[in-house]
Amino acid sequence: MRIKSTKKEFIEEIFDSISNIEFFLKDIIENNAVARIKPLSVEIRKLLNPNSNGDSGLKRVEHVIKRTFIFPDRSKILPPTRIDVGLDEYINRMIFSIGGRPVTRIEVVKLVADQKGAHIDDGIDPLHRQSQGTILPLGNPARDKLFFEQNHLYIIEIAKTIVQVVTRQLSRG
């Protein structure tokens, strides 16, 4: 993401990213276009992953609009309840664990965005192997018949949340 000269140009670029994410989500969900998962994760990475200056696209937006994005998340205590968290906490919270290793949202985004090939070898991150062997439903499996490997499902969920949060909170001001 290039640094824009005006607030308006910068906000437009963020909304362009959101539009791309919405396009990819629609194609994935309506057409089961799994090939769109990687470009979706790359677009999400642009918004969430810190650049060389230490700020992500959304963090820079927070500075420009002088407001913090609030993301819905699950509490870490039982019973599970919905809580509100800031951007940094949202991306750095554990989304699942594998063999006792906590995996954060940003790790899943980077992993899928950086994924090279479809082959499996012993040297790759165990998350690739584990994800390919774990197939989860999106929505109502009887009605929707949409199933994705674990990492892909989490990318879809993260994308939906980002679209919802940014669209609602950025359009308010």
Q: CB neighbours of 28 closer than 8 A, spacing ≥ 6?
A: 34, 36, 37, 40, 156
Distance CA(6)–CA(62), nearest Å, equals 14
* Phi and psi angles of residue 102, each rounded to the nearest 5 degrees, phi first: -70, 140
pLDDT digits (tens, 9 = 90+) for 42-84: 999 999 987 766 678 899 899 888 999 999 998 777 787 899 9
pLDDT by residue for the chain (173 residues), tens only, comes to 555 567 888 889 899 999 999 999 999 989 888 889 999 999 999 999 877 666 788 998 998 889 999 999 987 777 878 999 999 999 999 887 777 778 899 988 988 888 754 444 445 565 555 555 455 555 555 555 565 677 888 899 999 999 999 999 987 55
Query: How far is Cα 53 from Cα 1, in angstroms, rounded to an integer?
Result: 12
19-26 contact pairs (CB < 8 A, 24+): 21/159, 21/162, 21/163, 22/163, 24/159, 25/156, 25/159, 25/160, 25/163
Beta strand 135-137 pairing with 147-149: antiparallel
Chain center to CA of 85: 15
Q: Where are the domains of the chain?
A: 7-68+96-171
pTM of the model: 0.80
